[in-house]
Amino acid sequence: MSTPEQYDAIVIGSGEAGKFIAWHLASQGSRVIAIEKDAMGGACPNVACLPSKNIVHSAKVASYFQRGSEFGIVHGDWRVDMDAVRARKRKMVDGLHEVHQNNFKKNGAEFVMGFGSLTGPKTVQVDLNAGGTRALTADKIFIDTGSRATLDPIPGLRESRPLTHIEALELDILPDHLLVLGGGYVGLELAQAIRRFGSRVTVIERNPTLAHREDPDVSEAIQQLFHDEGIDIITSATISSIEGISGANVKLHLTLPTGSSILEGTHLLVATGRTPNTQNMGLELAGVQTTPSGHIQVNDRLETTAPGIWAMGDCAGSPHFTHISFDDFRTVRDNLAGANRSTTNRQVPSCTFTDPELAHVGLSETEARQQGIAYRLTRLPMLAVLRTRTLSETRGFLKALIAPDDRILGFTAFGTGAGELLPAVQLAMANNLPYTAIRNLIISHPTLAEGLVSLFSAVPPN
Ligand SMILES: Cc1cc2nc3c(=O)[nH]c(=O)nc-3n(C[C@H](O)[C@H](O)[C@H](O)COP(=O)(O)OP(=O)(O)OC[C@H]3O[C@@H](n4cnc5c(N)ncnc54)[C@H](O)[C@@H]3O)c2cc1C
Ligand SMILES: NC(=O)c1ccc[n+]([C@@H]2O[C@H](COP(=O)([O-])OP(=O)(O)OC[C@H]3O[C@@H](n4cnc5c(N)ncnc54)[C@H](O)[C@@H]3O)[C@@H](O)[C@H]2O)c1
């Protein structure tokens, strides 16, 4: 066996946390190598967040065309060209690839395409995509291998060759009738986009509502939105089996509270959650333990059960968001520099990029009730945020939970530009400021953020 090549740090997986730790350590003078099996930079820029938001925005443009006369814009015949929609997305992805390449070059981290696996406590083998293997060793190993779309063991599902988000974001034709399995983040964003391009779309969810983790008023509002956009919704559904092939004809055999039923479509998109990429990686050879869900077991500093090995992002069971993977990187980076940073109790903001967006941070009403936490509720329809009237985008509401001592416990925005409203509220929450700190701001008129002044002016007294 050849002597392994010596590095200061090896990074397996070039997702958000992986690439940032590689760039950071290399820029500090360490000899670093990052191993990636698919695409430089991981899921976000290539097949997940950014490509999906690119497609969602093309769908927004299509919705403006549909609504043109409402804005006084009279147009002739128009059509959606999915080839061109995909070309715009691909152009963006190519541009992001260039940014990543430049960052690896600038920071001096080596990048290699291949599958990385552990062969011992400090050793890694790379099965090179180009053929052959390399043996590497380092005192520090960082695992950031992400997750993939879950395919449940439903009879016929795998055989139906369903689309995952990856193939859905590469569609160059419009499905006649897209069946979307799962009414969570991926299902909601892509179902609405494909519907706006002109497909018939049905969302099938096993829980009684779409966005089932949200407060009932929020999931009801999402459901109403989908109804208004002409998306069919089937909830409380159990799929017993699937026949046919996605792209031609698929048949779902469903059990519903009303009895059994068969649903037919031309395409099937699976959006039923994520499975961590932790298999066949020799984790046991290095003493890296996994949890029953298959995630790498880490402590609040993202240290695995093996000394000198860290895991970050989706594979470590961190909330599955790019901004959280980035924070995992910051946690590890700062602790390597001697800090004592923990992932416990950190803020986990989220934004679902439906149109309008659904943004949330902190406690929901349901969670507050379950935990017996006292709160006052303030709620404001988006119609009262005057900017929405100028945009003809008045759907939705803002709501916040206020503690007896005036701290903000949680904030939800369902409305146009909702994601952009989060940081101001987060800043107050992170610094234990009372809601009055936002209420008393002078905010430019007419902006969406002005709605925060109205929202926090309506807090009921204790
Ligand atoms: C359709 C979709 C849209 C999303 N939109 C958003 C959004 O808008 N905002 C948001 O915050 N989050 C979003 N997410 C979630 C977000 O994409 C993930 O949470 C994030 O990408 C996770 O990053 P990560 O650092 O864990 O690794 P990833 O980005 O998953 O990267 C891991 C990398 O490791 C590679 N890899 C795996 N195993 C090996 C191995 N053994 N050897 C070498 N390489 C390996 C993989 O090929 C991959 O490139 C979205 C997800 C999906 C599916
Ligand atoms: N905008 C964003 O930040 C964004 C966008 C996309 C994805 N993500 C991340 O990626 C993760 C994965 O997204 P996702 O949509 O795949 O998962 P999800 O957990 O958000 O939603 C999956 C949905 O599928 C349902 N489901 C599961 N099995 C089913 C079955 N057999 N039949 C019918 N319904 C079923 C679940 O009840 C759930 O509602 C998210 O949790 C999120 O963290 C984030």
Report pLDDT digits (tens) over 293-348. Answer: 999 999 999 999 999 999 999 999 999 999 999 999 999 999 999 999 999 999 99
Please give the model's pTM, rounded to 2 decimal places.
0.98
Using H for helix, E for strand and C for coil, what is the string for the chain?
CCCCEEEEEEEECCCHHHHHHHHHHHHCCCCEEEEECCCCCCHHHHCCHHHHHHHHHHHHHHHHHHCHHHHCCCCCCCCCCHHHHHHHHHHHHHHHHHHHHHHHHHHCCEEEEEEEEEEECCEEEEEECCCCEEEEEEEEEEECCCEEECCCCCCCCHHHCCECHHHHCCCCCCCCEEEEECCCHHHHHHHHHHHHHCCEEEEECCCCCCCCCCCHHHHHHHHHHHHHCCCEEECCCEEEEEEEECCCEEEEEEEECCEEEEEEECEEEECCCEEECCCCCCHHHHCCCECCCCCECCCCCCECCCCCEEECHHHHCCCCCHHHHHHHHHHHHHHHCCCCCCCCCCCCCEEECCCCEEEEEECCHHHHHHCCCCCEEEEEEHHHCHHHHHHCCCCCEEEEEECCCCEEEEEEEEECCHHHHHHHHHHHHHCCCECHHHHCCCCCCCCCCHHHHHHHHCCCCC
187 CB near ligand 2 (under 6 Å):
yes
Closest alpha carbon to 16 in 113, 139, 100, 109: 100
The pLDDT value recorded for residue 1 is 55
- As a whole number of angstroms, the distance between CA 359 and CA 410 comes to 11
pLDDT digits (tens, 9 = 90+) for 120-140: 999 999 999 999 999 999 999
The answer to the question of whether 273 is labelled as a binding residue is yes
Bridge partners of residue 241, in order along the sequence: 253
The answer to the question of whether 41 is labelled as a binding residue is no
- As a whole number of angstroms, the distance between CA 95 and CA 118 comes to 32
The pLDDT of 110-117, averaged and rounded, is: 98
The pLDDT value recorded for residue 308 is 98
Cα 45 to ligand 2 centroid, rounded to whole Å: 19
Which of the listed residues 272, 314, 327 should we mutate to test ligand 2's pocket, taking the one with most ligand atoms within 8 A of CB? 272
CA torsion 443-449-450-453 (nearest 10°) is: -90
Distance of CA 94 to the CA centre of its chain: 21
Cα 14 to ligand 1 centroid, rounded to whole Å: 9
With contact defined as beta carbons under 8 Å apart, do 155 and 138 qualify?
Answer: no
The answer to the question of whether 198 is labelled as a binding residue is no
Nearest CA to ligand 2 atom 14: 273
The answer to the question of whether 146 is labelled as a binding residue is yes
Token look-up 């997750």 returns 147
- pLDDT over 60 at 220, yes or no: yes
Cα 224 to ligand 2 centroid, rounded to whole Å: 19
Bridge partners of residue 357, in order along the sequence: 415
CA torsion 359-317-301-408 (nearest 10°) is: 20
Is residue 39 packed enough to be buried (19+ CB in 10 Å), middle (13-18) or exposed (0-12)?
middle
Q: Which atom of ligand 2 is nearest to the CA of 182?
A: 24
Domains of the chain: residue spans and CATH = 5-149+275-336 (3.50.50.60), 158-272 (3.50.50.60), 356-457 (3.30.390.30)
Q: Which ligand is nearest to the CA of 212?
A: 2
273 CB near ligand 2 (under 6 Å):
yes
The amino acid that residue 54 corresponds to is: N
- pLDDT over 80 at 192, yes or no: yes
- As a whole number of angstroms, the distance between CA 87 and CA 127 comes to 32
Q: In the predicted model, what is the mean pLDDT of the chain?
A: 98
Closest alpha carbon to 225 in 209, 207, 246: 209
Per DSSP bridges, beta strands 5-12 and 32-36 are parallel
The pLDDT of 5-33, averaged and rounded, is: 98
pLDDT digits (tens, 9 = 90+) for 52-91: 999 999 999 999 999 999 999 988 899 999 999 999 999 9
pLDDT above 70 coverage of the chain, percent: 100
Question: Residue 2 — pLDDT band, cuts 50, 70, 90?
Answer: confident
- As a whole number of angstroms, the distance between CA 159 and CA 174 comes to 22
The amino acid that residue 53 corresponds to is: K
Per DSSP bridges, beta strands 133-143 and 5-12 are parallel
The answer to the question of whether 184 is labelled as a binding residue is yes
pLDDT digits (tens, 9 = 90+) for 196-208: 999 999 999 999 9
Is 445 an annotated catalytic residue? yes
Active-site residue (options: 100, 253, 320, 445)? 445
ipTM above 0.85, yes or no: yes
Dihedral sign of CA atoms 435, 439, 442, 445 in order:
positive
Distances (CA, A) of 360 to 99, 167, 348, 401, 425: 30, 28, 9, 12, 10
Q: Which ligand is nearest to the CA of 235?
A: 2
Please compute Rg for the chain using Cα positions: 24
The amino acid that residue 300 corresponds to is: D
Nearest CA to ligand 1 atom 35: 13
- As a whole number of angstroms, the distance between CA 438 and CA 450 comes to 10
Q: Which atom of ligand 2 is nearest to the CA of 184?
A: 21
Cα 403 to ligand 2 centroid, rounded to whole Å: 31
Distance of CA 358 to the CA centre of its chain: 13
The pLDDT value recorded for residue 75 is 82
pLDDT digits (tens, 9 = 90+) for 222-275: 999 999 999 999 999 999 999 999 999 999 999 999 999 999 999 999 999 999
With contact defined as beta carbons under 8 Å apart, do 412 and 405 qualify?
Answer: no
Cα 138 to ligand 2 centroid, rounded to whole Å: 36
Q: Which ligand is nearest to the CA of 237?
A: 2
184 CB near ligand 2 (under 6 Å):
yes
The answer to the question of whether 116 is labelled as a binding residue is yes
222 CB near ligand 2 (under 6 Å):
no
Bridge partners of residue 148, in order along the sequence: 275
Cα 128 to ligand 1 centroid, rounded to whole Å: 21
With contact defined as beta carbons under 8 Å apart, do 245 and 226 qualify?
Answer: no
